[in-house]
Structure 1
Amino acid sequence: MTALGDLIEIDDRTVLVLGRELAIERDQPDVANALVHRTGDTLVLVDTGVTTAFRAAIRDAAGRVGHWSRALVLTTHGHPDHVGNNDLADELGVPAEHYVPAPDLDQMRDPASYWVRSFDRIAGLAPLPAPPSALAARVVAICQPMRLFCATTRTYEERPLERVRIGSLRFTGWTFANGAVRVLRSHGHCAGHVIVHLSDCGVLHLSDEGNGAWGAMADADQLKIQTVLGAVATLFEEEQATVLTDGHTFTVRRGPEAVAYLEGLLEQGTALQEAALGLTTDARRIRPSTFTTHYAKALADLGIGGANPNPVFTAMMAVNQLLELGLRPESDGPDTPWSRPALHNPPPIPEGPAPGPRQSRPPSSP
């Protein structure tokens, strides 16, 4: 049984700081794991979680990885459970840099609107404990204090984009600390998501790209999630990475265990899509609430959980699954039927009169 702030020492200069699961009914925020690493004289913090207790645990971990004289704070994405202590960069007493993904700046500045958008999509599909706007405000309120930026915060995108080759694979992203830290664009779990590879200790931090077989957020991209899972599995097979960590499973996976875990997520994703097809094949019009109920049963039958499983996130996954299958709502309003748009050829474009010969312009008068 793990507790908030417990430490897993990966090696003498790398520590995983454990977060905790979400419990909205108890006003308990989820806290994402943070990775603390030293490369040379640089302290690397990957995500900072939330809550003052977790902040203290990160400081404790930073004191265990050896001497450092500069700091690099990397935000994998803008969700509140990953960013609450970002201003630690200002308090470490050494020159520090902090980077965030540009596509996530809007949600970081206005997290309530981001979560309203996510909850509005499932109104009527799951028993929300409060209306979408109130529930979004509650999610933001329990993730306090929220210190998102510091004096040196910049976006990754302000740096020149690099082509990063690791083994047989090619990524785009950014490198730091003379190439020992590689930030790779993934953009699956949400619009700006990145993953982090620490080459000198073999750690690949997946953050929330491995949160389950299917993305839940409104800005999730299922293809990108599954593509990055496959790419990371290849890195482990080629021994370019040897230790897998992430944002919400409170464990460290090594070598073949990491490959099996990633393969399992991919298998679950395809199994879920097959189950969803079975739920939509015989009906032209689908009630999302009915689909969500059967989809939740398919999740249970397949033994698929994911990070922080609950009815709200299951409904968010179900909506994304319907979209992925090509269904669209027929009108506005909660639980309106969804269907596949009719397939037909567009009407022909009417032909106009053929253009006449171009007229030469008379020479202008002197």
Structure 2
Amino acid sequence: MTALGELIGIDERTVLVLGQELDVERGQPDVANALVHRAGETLVVVDTGVTEAFRAALREAMDRVGPWSRVLVLTTHGHPDHVGNNDLADELGVPVEHWVPAPDLDQMRDPASYWVQAFERVEGMAPLPAPALAGPALVSLFQPYRPFAATARTYEERPLERIRIGSARFTGWTFADGAVRVLRSQGHCAGHVIVHLRDCGVLHLSDEGNGACGAMADADQLKIQTVLGAVALLFEEGEAALLTDGHTFAVRRGAGVVVPFLDGLLDQAAALQSAALELITGDGPVRPSAFTARYAEVFAGLGGGGANPNALFTAMMAVNELHELGLRPESAEADTPWSRPALQLGD
């Protein structure tokens, strides 16, 4: 068992700070892992989690990797479990930069509306109160919630760079004389980035590896699968040596461990979509609640899990799977049937 704020030392200048899983019944927010690294005299903090206890653990990790004279805080995406302690950057008494993804600004400013939208998509498909109540109730667990440091700016204010790592090509932004590479991925949600720390060989996947199918309304399944394949290539070529992420409470070391893990996610994604296709019989409409119940069984049978597995997130995945298969809702009502749009144009 791991404890919130437990530190895993990767090397003398790199520490993974462990978060915790979501437990709504106990009023416990999920807290994303954070990565703390020193590149020369620059302290690099990748995500800041949430809760005062996690904030204290971050400070401990910062002290462990010192000394440093400036700070770089990098936000991988705007979900509350990753950004609640971002204002920690304002307390450090040294020059600080804080960078966030522009596509996630709206949800960072108003997380309740973001989650209401997410829950509206699965109303009638999963056990939850009305979305207008469930969204704010969930967000209320994430306290304190201070997603912007005083120096916060968006990555997109910087010129976009083409970044080559081995034979893989990305776009993104580099910091600390190239020692820190922020790579656009945008699969788990609209603004998502991953982070490569060149000198210690760590690739921080954040939430792109949460499961075989993205759950959020702004998830992009193709981008998730593309980035998993690109990251596997980095490990095969020796350009990365250790994989960390937002919700796995461990460090995966070496291509022999990491590549099968990533390939397994890709295989599961293909198997899950194939199985979902078999659940849709004929050309008639599909009731999402019935599809979700069967989808959950298939998902469990394939060994599906991911971060914070629960019925709500499985329903969110099921809706995305229906969309991937080309179906669309027939109305805006809760649990409305989904069907394939006609391919023939009308007269």
Same fold (TM over 0.5): yes
Give the partner amino acid of 1:184. L
Counting only pairs closer than 5 Å after superposition, residues 76-115 of structure 1 correspond to structure 2 as 76-115=76-115
3-state secondary structure, aligned to 2:114: helix
Q: Is the CA contact (8 Å cut-off) linking 2:283 and 2:340 kept in structure 1?
A: no
* 1:351 match: none
Structural mapping, 1:196-207, within 5 Å: 196-207=195-206
For residues 150 and 17 of structure 2, what CA distance do their matches in structure 1 show? 24
Code of the aligned partner of 1:131: A
Q: Provide the rounded CA distance (Å) in 1 between the counterparts of 2:242 and 2:25.
A: 34
User: For each residue in 1:99-147, what CA deviation from the matched residue of structure 2 results, as whole angstroms up to 9, or x when unmatched?
Assistant: 000000000001010000000000000111x211111111111101111
Alpha-carbon distance, 1:281 to partner: 3.5
Partner SS for 1:191 = coil
> 1:53 deviation in Å?
0.3
User: Which residue number in structure 1 is paired with residue 236 of structure 2?
Assistant: 237
Q: What's 1:313 paired with? A: 313
For residue 125 of structure 1, give the secondary structure of its aligned residue in structure 2.
coil
Q: Which has the larger radius of gyration?
A: 1
Structure 1 Cα separation of the partners of residues 150 and 120 of structure 2: 35
- Aligned AA for 2:225? Q
Paired residues for 1:307-346 under 5 Å: 307-345=307-345
Letter in 2 for 1:252: V
Calculate the aligned-residue CA RMSD, in Å: 0.8
Cα deviation, residue 330, structure 1:
1.2
User: What CA distance in whole angstroms lies between the structure 1 residues aligned with 2:114 and 2:103?
Assistant: 12
Q: CA deviation at 1:345?
A: 3.8
Deviation at 1:346, TM superposition (A): 5.3
Aligned to 2:68: 68
- Counterpart residue type for residue 180 of structure 2: V
Name the aligned partner's letter for residue 115 of structure 1. W
Which portions of structure 1, spanning 4 or more consecutive aligned residues, are displaced by more than 2 angstroms?
none
Letter in 2 for 1:286: V
Letter in 2 for 1:333: E
- Counterpart in the other structure of 2:299: 299
Counterpart CA distance in 2 for 1:271 and 1:151 is 45
Supply the AA of the counterpart residue of 1:56: A
**1:1-366 superposed matches below 5 A:** 1-128=1-128, 130-255=129-254, 256-345=256-345, 347=347
Q: Report if the CA contact (8 A) 2:77-2:191 is conserved.
A: yes
Q: Secondary structure at the match of 2:64?
A: coil
Letter in 2 for 1:65: V
Q: Letter of the 2:195 partner, please give it.
A: V
Residue 363 of structure 1 aligns with which residue?
A: none
Percent of residue pairs identical: 74
CA distance in 2, matches of 1:11, 1:152: 29
Give per-residue Cα distances to partners, 1:254-287, cap 9 Å, x unaligned.
1111111111111110010011000013351100
1:319 Cα offset (Å): 0.2
Aligned-pair CA distance for 1:334: 1.1
> 1: distance between equivalents of 2:151 and 2:127?
42
Q: How many equivalent pairs are there?
A: 346
Deviation, structure 1 residue 332? 2.1
Q: C-alpha separation between the residues in 2 aligned to 1:24 and 1:223?
A: 30
Q: CA deviation at 1:25?
A: 1.2
Q: Distance in 2 between matches of 1:70 and 1:262?
A: 34
Q: Deviations over 1:64-109 (max 9, x none)?
A: 1131111000000000000000011111111110000000000000
User: Partners in 2 of 1:301 and 1:266 — Cα distance?
Assistant: 16
Question: Which range moved further: 56-65 or 131-140?
Answer: 131-140
Q: What are structure 1's unaligned runs of at least 5 residues?
A: 348-366
Q: Partner letter of residue 161 of structure 2?
A: E
